[in-house]
């Protein structure tokens, strides 16, 4: 049969043909079983494959009515699911707007934040602050306030310039802190960014409770999100929680923010919401936002054709019934403890741990000794998750490349997609000369693809605009933002 598919990786030829699934297993056309260790590849199939109750509920709904445009009418499944979700959501998140994907959910939250400030007489508030190494979807809006560089780099000219702050990445803290003595400067970085952008212009801050793909599994310390909530309230900034990945039990709580007892102004959900049986997402909205719009213009021009369609909502209801009937959230918490007892595991979202990774590179491959001078030599990779790490006693030259005797190559753990310039690498215990760090590109699921040239991206190359690598405006834009922020931090520290 001729192949007419356009895939995300057109050069690849060995695509498995998956024909059915059962529980945690999927089966290809030749009958081989494969463990689905990533819940459908992108953290979607929370309840497992082949759960008959969900397609049966969808079929029953389709027999009654399969489509009803939510922009004009309601349907019973839509209303019932909205009520169930509002009861589960924290705080005063009482209004549910249904969509199809996580990208739509985060963008809808941003649009509604904008509408709220228009209705309340603050039309100048429009900026959205995101975090470096974050991911909130692949549409242009979501890419603009997200920080996943491999998805941004080709589309720089189309993206909006929204401020970025440092991620909460305790394993390699960009501020050189450790969780035990940290006063969460990564949270205070939001306060700095709001003040620099002008509090009167900032509408929202968006973050994942636990980072998904760029630095997968990176979780903040206990004080992080309470401090974020405090800063947002102080500056009248909306807090958007992206729970598309972490929602519906994936962290051992119904929603990831439940670990911090913090309620956002918008809760974005999707993926496991329907168990992967139908496209379904939603933005759960604070009551004050709904009241401001309903009592003002009365119109919010948002939404998509299939949002809230009866069949998808029936799938969401059946998936939620299955999660509750089998107590899957509590089971996820118990299994987290089991995995946490394994080498390299993490029982719960935990700051300072090495973030969870896919594949054998996840455990035991980052055996660098403290104080040893290490340089990364980026070579063409044989696979997506490999980068050669060379050990040696020689000094680092100003370009960040090792000189002197070298040892055998080692395999390094996947790193963030955009390295921090001038930050301290705690696994090495020293700063690179002139703050130079190699820039790498992240692969799917937190993997890493090696650069095709060995020159690292250095601060001088950023200042004069001459990038030594063929990266595109998306990389250039965020690299410049990172450089400006780093130099500002250095100036303030010198002044202190």
- According to DSSP, the residues that pair with 238 across neighbouring strands are 204
Report the distance separating Cα 373 and Cα 431, nearest Å: 10
C-alpha to C-alpha distances, 296 to 94, 120, 129, nearest whole angstrom: 19, 8, 26
Instruction: Say what the pLDDT of residue 481 is.
Output: 62
Report the distance separating Cα 478 and Cα 481, nearest Å: 5
What is the average pLDDT across 112-141? 95
Binned at pLDDT 50, 70 and 90, residue 38 comes out as confident
pLDDT above 90 covers a percentage of the chain that reads 56
**Mind listing the domains of the chain with CATH numbers?**
16-44 (no CATH), 54-325 (3.40.640.10), 360-495 (no CATH)
Q: Which residue has the higher pLDDT, 272 or 475?
A: 272
| Under 8 Å between Cβ of 255 and 267 | yes
Summarize pLDDT for 373-425 with one digit per residue, the tens: 222 222 233 333 332 223 333 332 333 333 333 333 333 333 333 333 333 33
Q: List, in order, residues 6 or more apart from 341 with CB less than 8 Å away.
A: 347
Instruction: Say what the pLDDT of residue 116 is.
Output: 98
Binned at pLDDT 50, 70 and 90, residue 437 comes out as very low
Flag whether pLDDT at 13 surpasses 90.
no
| Angle formed at CA 240 by CA 234 and CA 244, multiple of 5 degrees | 155
**11-20, 43-52, 433-442: range with lowest mean pLDDT:** 433-442
Instruction: Say what the pLDDT of residue 39 is.
Output: 87
Instruction: Say what the pLDDT of residue 344 is.
Output: 53
C-alpha to C-alpha distances, 343 to 303, 340, 351, 354, 365, nearest whole angstrom: 45, 8, 17, 11, 12
Q: Which residue has the higher pLDDT, 445 or 482?
A: 482
| Nearest residue to 318 (alpha-carbon basis) of 31, 24, 80 | 80
Binned at pLDDT 50, 70 and 90, residue 364 comes out as very low
Best-predicted range by mean pLDDT among 34-43, 402-411, 416-425, 484-493? 34-43
Instruction: Say what the pLDDT of residue 343 is.
Output: 58
**Entry pTM:** 0.72
Q: List, in order, residues 6 or more apart from 426 with CB less than 8 Å away.
A: 171, 172, 173, 176, 178
Report the distance separating Cα 65 and Cα 17, nearest Å: 32
- According to DSSP, the residues that pair with 410 across neighbouring strands are 389
Summarize pLDDT for 291-341 with one digit per residue, the tens: 999 999 999 989 999 999 999 999 999 999 999 999 999 999 998 888 877
């Amino acid at each position: 049969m001729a192949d007419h598919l356009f895939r995300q990786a057109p050069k690849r030829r060995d695509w498995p043909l998956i024909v059915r699934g059962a529980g945690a297993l999927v089966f290809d056309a030749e009958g081989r079983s494969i463990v689905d260790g990533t819940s459908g590849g992108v953290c979607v199939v929370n309840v497992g494959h082949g759960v008959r109750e969900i397609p049966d509920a969808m079929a029953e709904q389709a027999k009654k009515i399969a489509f009803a445009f939510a922009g004009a009418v309601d349907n019973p499944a839509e209303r019932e699911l909205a009520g169930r979700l509002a009861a589960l959501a924290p705080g005063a998140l009482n209004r549910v707007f249904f969509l199809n994907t996580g990208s739509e959910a985060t963008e809808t939250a941003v649009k509604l934040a904008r509408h709220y400030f228009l209705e309340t007489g603050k039309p100048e508030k429009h900026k959205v602050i995101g975090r470096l190494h974050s991911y909130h979807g692949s549409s242009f809006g979501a890419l603009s306030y997200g920080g996943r560089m491999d998805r941004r780099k080709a589309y720089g000219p189309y993206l909006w310039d929204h401020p970025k702050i440092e991620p909460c990445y305790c394993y390699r803290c960009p501020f050189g802190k450790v969780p035990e003595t940290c006063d969460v400067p990564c949270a205070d970085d939001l306060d700095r960014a709001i003040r620099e952008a002008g509090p009167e212009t900032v509408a929202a801050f968006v973050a994942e409770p636990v980072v998904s793909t760029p630095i997968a599994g990176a979780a903040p310390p206990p004080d992080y999100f309470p401090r974020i909530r405090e800063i947002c309230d102080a500056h009248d900034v909306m807090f958007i929680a992206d729970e598309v990945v972490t929602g519906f039990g994936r962290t051992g709580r119904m929603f990831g923010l439940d670990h911090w007892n913090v309620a956002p102004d918008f809760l974005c959900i999707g993926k496991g919401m329907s168990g992967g049986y139908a496209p379904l997402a939603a933005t759960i909205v604070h009551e004050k936002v709904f009241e401001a719009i309903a009592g003002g213009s009365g119109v919010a021009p948002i939404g998509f054709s299939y949002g809230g369609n009866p069949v998808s909502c029936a799938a969401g209801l059946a998936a939620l019934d299955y999660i509750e009937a089998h107590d899957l959230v509590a089971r996820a918490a118990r299994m987290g403890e089991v995995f946490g007892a394994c080498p390299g595991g993490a029982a719960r979202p935990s700051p300072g741990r090495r973030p969870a990774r896919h594949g054998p590179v996840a455990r035991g491959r980052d055996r660098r000794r403290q104080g040893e001078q290490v340089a990364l030599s980026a070579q063409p990779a044989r696979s997506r998750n490999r980068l050669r790490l060379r050990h040696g006693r020689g000094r680092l030259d100003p370009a960040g490349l090792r000189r002197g005797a070298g040892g055998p190559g080692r395999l390094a753990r996947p790193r963030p997609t955009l390295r921090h310039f001038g930050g301290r690498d705690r696994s090495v215990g020293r700063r690179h000369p002139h703050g130079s760090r190699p820039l790498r590109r992240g692969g799917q699921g937190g993997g890493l693809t090696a650069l095709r040239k060995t020159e690292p991206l250095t601060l001088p190359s950023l200042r004069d605009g001459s990038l030594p690598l063929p990266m595109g405006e998306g990389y250039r834009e965020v690299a410049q933002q990172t450089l400006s922020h780093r130099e500002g931090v250095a100036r303030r520290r010198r002044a202190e």
